[in-house]
Amino acid sequence: MKNPRKFIIQKFTEYYRDNANKIPLPTSYKKREFGFILSDKGIMLRHKAFSEPRFFRDFIKLITPSDVYHSAAYYKHPSREMGKKEWIGADLIFDIDFDHISTPCTEEHEYWTCELCDQAGVGKQPSVCSQCGGSKFKMVAWLCETCLETAKSEALKLIEFLVNDFGFPPQDVEVCFSGHRGYHIHVERDEIKQLDQDARKEIVDYVQGTGLKVSLHGLMPVSRKTGQKIIGPDLNDPGWSGKIARGVYDIIVTYNLQQLKEINGINKNIASLIFLQREKILKTWNTGNPWGSIKGIGIKTWEKLVEISVVNQAVSIDTVVTIDIHRLIRMPLTLHGKTGLKVVSIPSKSLERFDPLRDAVAFNEGTLKVYILAAHRFRIGKEIYGPYERETVKLPMAAAIYLLCKRAALLTD
């Protein structure tokens, strides 16, 4: 069997030869730093700058990188080492990656490779490699449709925050499929470029609901002549108040009795009361005050439901990416070295219809016979492939390159 590295480089070379001139450079590209992972060495080449688009495109075709990046930051001297670049500002960047999101299917698509040989497998990694006796393994993120949909849902939540809560125009919110595990969200606005790390941390805390005090959003007991009553936010309230209300509403609509009973801090009898009075509570969202509609459901119970609501309404992001004012991010229409898929820019209004396993395919022509070490069931384009284990299969080029990039397959002789 042949190592696939040279073949992957050949296909990436062909892609950039045909598509380098289509790659859009970022705004103010002369003030950006560019970075590249070299395909043949696997090392990062940084601190590159380009005075004209043709120089960048010629460079791409010359070196055939596995991955291409530009800085979110603007510098006076982008090609100098980090301490001498002279930072001017930076775009606001978010990274949503299903690797940071807990999904019920995670264990179902675990995939490992031995760091010393070509051995690979699905499921839990062994303690010792059966082929070489090595004990060092690398876990590989498999492209799972459920996880990708979860990442997209998080991206849609974040867009709602940015547009409705922060007031950014939808056309200023750029979404990119990363080519692998999720999405990058970019905001280019003059008013945010000068934000320091502390200010960006405040934005992170807001979209994650960190330190949120529910009493400041309207949920509280109020004394009446006839006794104490509970009031709370409305479904249509702006900001976190409305999100809290909508989150609690969704819990009451979707949770079954067992799920309600499993909520830590809620008495099982109260959970049963919520479940039995579900219809009455839901009706009062539009006709009255749901927070005080059912006798026996007190403020502590509502606060527990709000805690879950905040978790559900918050966005799972890689916090380090947003706070880092020197971050490098992937460029649209470049390739991802771990999948062979394209980084794709998507208008925020079109994200819901975007299918990464169809719309990000770069290699649409040809077939390739590969020896598959191990592979979960996966989809590329419209077709579903696998599962496979130690077998030779002829696949469409995009599916074959995906397996080669994942080190799940080798070239046949």
User: Could you tell me if residue 126 is inside a domain?
Assistant: no
Q: Which of 249, 282, 313 is the last residue of a domain?
A: 313
Structural domains of the chain, count = 2
Q: Do residue 192 and residue 66 come from a single domain?
A: yes
Look at residue 366 in the predicted model and tell me its pLDDT: 96
Residue 196 is among the residues annotated as catalytic for this protein: no
Which whole-number Å values give the CA distances from 330 to 46, 49, 184, 277, in the listed order?
13, 15, 9, 50
Cβ neighbours of residue 360 closer than 8 Å, sequence gap 6 or more: 177, 179, 341, 342, 343, 344
Residues 77 and 28 in one domain: yes
Q: Given this model, what pLDDT does residue 228 score?
A: 61
The pLDDT assigned to 95 comes to 97
Give the model's pLDDT for residue 45.
Answer: 96
Question: Is position 18 annotated as part of the catalytic site?
Answer: no
If asked whether residues 93 and 235 sit together in one domain, one would say no
Strand partners, 140: 111
What pLDDT score was predicted for residue 48?
Answer: 97
List the catalytic residue out of 18, 58, 67, 95: 95
Same domain, 15 and 38: yes
Place of tokens 């979209």: 207
pLDDT confidence of residue 43? 93
Q: What is the pLDDT of residue 161?
A: 97
Looking at residue 268, which CATH number applies to its domain?
1.10.8.160
The answer to whether the beta carbons of residues 203 and 196 sit under 8 Å apart is: no
Cβ 326 vs Cβ 291: under 8 Å: no
Residue 23's pLDDT is 97
Domain that holds residue 223: 214-313
**Do residues 307 and 182 both lie within one domain?**
no
Q: What is the pLDDT of residue 1?
A: 62
Asked if residue 77 is part of any domain, the answer here is yes
Of 313, 346, 379, which residue sits at a domain end?
313
Asked if the structure places residue 131 within a domain, the reply is: no
Catalytic choice (18, 40, 58, 97): 97
Please state the pTM of the whole predicted model.
0.91
> Could you check whether the bond before residue 387 is cis, i.e. omega within 30 degrees of 0?
yes
| Residue 181: CATH number of its domain | 3.90.920.10
Is 124 part of any domain? no
Contacts (Cβ under 8 Å, ≥6 apart) of 167 = none
Catalytic-labelled residue, pool 318, 355, 359, 413: 318
Q: Give pLDDT, residue 210.
A: 94
Q: Which residues of the chain have pLDDT under 50?
A: none
Q: For residue 318, indicate whether it is catalytic.
A: yes
Output the six-digit token pair for 232: 């709370």
